[in-house]
Chains A and B, each alone.
Chain A
Amino acid sequence: MVQTKQVWKPDGLQEAWETASQLKQDFCFVAGGTWLRTQWENGEHQPANLIALDDVPEMHASIQEDSRHLVIGSLTLLSDLIESPLVLERVPLLQEACSRIAAPSIRHQATIGGNIMSAVGDTLPVLLVYEAVFRWYDGTQIIEQPVEEWVQEEKAPMRLLLEIAIPIRERPEGTLSFFVKTGRRETFIPSQVTVAGMILTDASGSVYDAKLAAGGGSAVPARLHGAEALFLRSSSRKLFPALMHDQIKREFQPPGDVFASSEYKKRVAANLIVGEWYRKERGFVEAQ
């Protein structure tokens, strides 16, 4: 096991960038460090250099609202997101997702930036559904990138995640929004299947907007565009659950692992999404 030899503490974005550029290799940026710690414990390479981001002022831990977005600093702690009234009001699914990650002691240290950079974090399906935008520093400037584009990137270039901007949308009465995470026990678990969704209906009950995403385990979180399209073609009274079920299973492609097959995960994702719609239709979900 290689021990970390140095922890670098840059106090500005440019300095952080230059430190990384000079080190070239065998380094890792670190915020809360909870995910890294787990990986090292599981035998992943522990780099000789850690670049701590705590003192970089451009990387903040605040939750703010402008006219069109809720802007969350990448260093914001999961526990702060859970407790934020603004998050609860504007993006309640994010609050729910954060509260289902790990255990309280970890949530007090882990950041949303870290959860995102793990590439399999539970916040990602929710951010996909909210169509969030990431604001990166690429060494020279700040660039914006939709989350969906980022999750599809094969190999991302070095960048620092500064903020997550989530468009603020009205959720008319009758909107169905949900986040469901499943694992091999009730809590403090890695996700096996995570689904999130937001489905908007008009006064007649017809769907006019649908956003669905699934992830979990080592699956790359993904929007389910085909299933969304199927929802858009359905009025609430004419949704064909079996068709929807098949569509989700076709579209969601999670890898199997030691504990669950890919087929099982597909079935769970389909069951959970169709089940949520069933609950809404029977009036068992509170309209948001």
Chain B
Amino acid sequence: MKLNDTAASWRKRPDGSAKIDGSFQYLTDKEVPGCLHARVKRSGIPHARLRRVYTAEAEAMPGVRAVLTADDVPGLNGFGIADPNQPVFVRDHIRFEADAVAAVAADTPEIAQAALDVITIDVEPLPVLDTPEKALHPEAVKLHPDGNILHETFHERGDIQAGFAEAAVVVEETYETPRQMHVFMEMEGGLFVPETDGTLTVYAPTQHGYKDRMQLSRILGWEEEQIRIVSSPIGGSFGGKDELNVQPFGALLALATGQPVKIHYSRKESVRAGLKRHPMKITMRTGVDKDGLITAHEALLVSDTGAYATLGGPVLQFATEHTISGYIMPNVRIEGLAVYTNNGISGEFRGFGGNQALFALEGQMDRLAEKLGVDPWEMRRRNLRQENDPGPLGQRVAPNDGPRGVWEAVQQSPLWKRPSFSRDKQEPWIVRGTGASIAMHGSGLGYGIPDPAGGELRLTPEGKIEAAFGHEEFGQGLVGTLEIMLLRHFHCAENDLLMTIGDTSTVPKSGSSTASRSTNMIWQALEYLVPPFKNTLFKRASALTGAAVENMETGAEGIRHKKSGALLVSYRRLAAEGSLKESTEFHFPLTPDPVMGGHFLYGSTAVIAEVEVNQLTGTVRVTGADHAVAAGSVVNPLGYLGQIEGGSIMALGFTLTEDAVMNDGVYQTGNLDAYLIPTIQDVPKHQAVEAVERLPEGDTYGPRGVGEIGSVALAPAICEAIYQAAGVRVTKLPVEREKLIREEALLEAWMDAEGAETG
């Protein structure tokens, strides 16, 4: 399906208009009369022993209602989805410049800020470990009790030495990727309300409400049920709000003061305190035989995970698997290290380590093909997996021929017919090139990580069919996609439906909204829920009307006669017969083989990019970036296209401009005037997206999510296009203009022109 040409089947998303006209209310827009305002005091120094925090002056300020430090955390002074090793408030060891040392609640944001200004700390500075190399030094200060390595991965198969011995051509290269920022439009924040019944309501965006509830209960020393988390809608997340951020401070201050507390980070604070994509250094050595078949593949991945764990381990695990991706490789040795440093925290981010790994892997494929003298796309084909091949780590996976599907489909792009190199006639220093890449991307969390799912269908007393899921809407279009699925199942009217998400008081546990899993989980849940739900409706209708169940179908307003379409009984009338609820709980489809982090379901993508390099300045413009994506059937064409285009533009930023630069553990790009994301002027005017919907026969897993796959494979395609255009191999992102500027291009043009005139 060519998604750009299917406008007729586009459905307007239910939350669209209000988001466009600005009337949409996010959780961070919430305020209640008399609520206090909170601010967090940060260490301001990347590495030190903390001796003392002086808060007396702040506490004495008029209008200050509470000042909290490490002594005021009743439960666990720590959080982290995988390992709660980030302190809410530092007690003695400052590990990064935005470590929290105190938090203040005051009558106004100005008073809270003034109070922060008079909180001082007594510290003993320590050497700043601002690179994994420094942190791995045997004499480096231990950042955590177990040392400075958060996680190690290892995968080996075949005989790597023999593999290299068989190789006709070997390429070795080291690839480096940037510290990319999520740049969601809504910064982290929320409202924390102590209720009269002794419970706490938290209105704060997050990708997994129940996980926040668990983490907060640990910090407060409360039962989970005492906390209600309202977590959607969210003004963008991309992984950046998966982990706790403001919640510990807001919750503790609300309980300390007994008053509602509002907290909302500024962009500057979000930059310093928030998660980033892991910068990785990946050294790869790959060999192919004379036919271009991979004989050996070796890689060392080192990720800078920053000060604390969050999901740095799983991200490395994912990157490890995706250094193999959709290729068949007999002899493999992959090692990964996630290293703690005094840099800002790296964590979960759309693509989850795949982006870094694929930049390296696809870079290898282009270099190998060139060295061997074969077409790079043809060489990829020879190495791609077949439908029933095992997964990247040798694990059993659902039959998958996606890579071959997209390999073929991307050739439909008009960019495919463009020359791989051309030079501008008027401005000969402008050179153009094209490049392509291919990737397979896992969905779900992978083997070894609990990945539960679930949902509920209910008939409300008002006669609405209510679908309740613990998933979150952060702009990806989940609500719109859910509505489409429900309409297809029930053929009812939009106003017969009620979609409930993002509130632990009303939704079941569905697992997190991450890892391209939500669409797939909802689809599967409805497959389980709808038949028994309809069955009960029909039985009730039959009892009330005497009509035969086999003549019934669901439709607008109620149960209708299959042939005539006449309304037999309304949903409201059926609801009067008593409550009706269907629930399901299941696990994301998992490989039967115990391979840590190995996936079972994958999407695939192929990308072709066209660039224009201006050699006077080294500037790169991406003039085309078309995608083919294989992820099963398209549920919501508008949402699908939006995800691929959005992911692609994010990847364009990752490749060309985005890097949260740190020097000595201090962010140098404090705001969006120095950290540059692409604007509309930086993106191609049109991006063709082709969806390959075909799934292997007998596949029952439904549509795969496409939340990440648009972002994973563009960088290597752009870099190959740059090489074709300018002859420079890029090994470090974002692309350095200093490597592409070439005054000879100008002087040569001059000589050529003079020559042409005199000759």
Contact = CB atoms under 8 A, between A and B. Distances in A.
Given A272-B616, A274-B746, A267 B676 contact: no
B746 A271 contact: yes
B670 interface: yes
A118 to B, nearest CB: 13
Contacts of A42: 670-671, 673
Interface residues of A, number: 35
A41 B679 contact: no
Nearest to A188: B679
Contact of B663 (A184, A186, A258, A260): A258
Contacts of A264: 618, 737-738, 741
A104 interface: no
A221 B363 CA distance: 41
A272 B617 contact: yes
B587 interface: no
A267 B741 CA distance: 8
A193 B741 CA distance: 13
Interface in B162-210: none
Interface in A251-266: 258-261, 264
B455 to A, nearest CB: 42
B746 A41 contact: no
Given A264-B737, A264-B738, A267-B741, A3 B747 contact: no
A245 B748 CA distance: 13
Given A3-B110, A268-B741, A275 B746 contact: yes
B426 A282 contact: yes
A184 B746 contact: no
Interface string A26-50: 0000000000001001110000000
B657 interface: yes
Contacts of B737: 184, 260, 264
A267 to B, nearest CB: 6
A241 interface: yes
A275 B750 CA distance: 9
A278 interface: yes
B246 to A, nearest CB: 20
A264 B517 CA distance: 45
A182 B747 contact: no
Interface string B654-697: 00110001010000111101101011011000000000000000
Contact of B747 (A38, A193, A245, A279): A245
B427 A261 contact: no
Given A3-B110, A282-B753, A187 B746 contact: no
Contacts of A242: 747
B756 to A, nearest CB: 10
A1 B113 contact: yes
Contact of A275 (B113, B616, B618, B682): B616
A120 to B, nearest CB: 14
B268 interface: yes
B671 A268 contact: no
Interface in A163-206: 182, 184-190, 193
B238 interface: no
Contacts of A267: 741, 743
Nearest to A271: B616
Interface string B733-745: 0000110010100
B748 to A, nearest CB: 10
Nearest to A186: B681
A254 to B, nearest CB: 14
Pick the most buried of B657, B661, B746: most chain A CB atoms within 10 A of its CB.
B746
Contacts of A270: 743
B429 interface: yes
A38 B427 contact: no
Contacts of B669: 258
B621 interface: yes
Interface string B598-622: 0000000000000000011111010
B449 interface: no
Contact of A41 (B117, B426, B427, B671): B671
Interface residues of B, number: 37
Contact of B668 (A43, A190, A258, A275): A258
Interface in B136-167: none
A182 B617 contact: yes
B314 to A, nearest CB: 31
A98 B426 CA distance: 27
A245 B743 contact: yes
A284 B427 contact: yes
Nearest to B670: A42
Contacts of B750: 241, 278
B391 to A, nearest CB: 38
A41 B747 contact: no
Contacts of A282: 426, 753
Nearest to B741: A267
Contacts of A284: 426-427
Given A42-B670, A271-B743, A275-B746, A260 B738 contact: yes
Interface centre among B678, B741, B743, B747 (most CB of A within 10 A): B743
B426 to A, nearest CB: 5
B751 to A, nearest CB: 9
Given A258-B661, A284-B427, A182 B619 contact: yes
Contacts of A245: 743, 746-747
Contacts of A189: 676
A190 B671 CA distance: 13
Nearest to A1: B113
A206 B105 CA distance: 72
Interface string A1-12: 101000000000
Nearest to B117: A1
Which of A41, A188, A260, A275 has the most chain B CB atoms inside 10 A of its CB?
A: A275
B617 A268 contact: yes
A250 to B, nearest CB: 14
A187 B657 contact: no
Contacts of B82: none
Given A190-B673, A258-B668, A185 B617 contact: no
A241 B750 CA distance: 8
Nearest to B659: A259
Nearest to B653: A185
A193 B616 CA distance: 12
A226 to B, nearest CB: 18
Contact of B426 (A260, A271, A279): A279
19 contacts: A1-B113, A1-B117, A41-B268, A42-B671, A43-B670, A188-B679, A193-B617, A242-B747, A245-B743, A258-B661, A258-B668, A260-B738, A261-B738, A267-B743, A271-B429, A275-B616, A275-B746, A282-B426, A284-B426
In order of increasing CB-CB distance, the 4 nearest A-B pairs are A186-B681, A271-B616, A187-B681, A264-B738
Given A187-B682, A261-B738, 5 more contacts: A42-B670, A185-B679, A258-B661, A264-B738, A271-B617
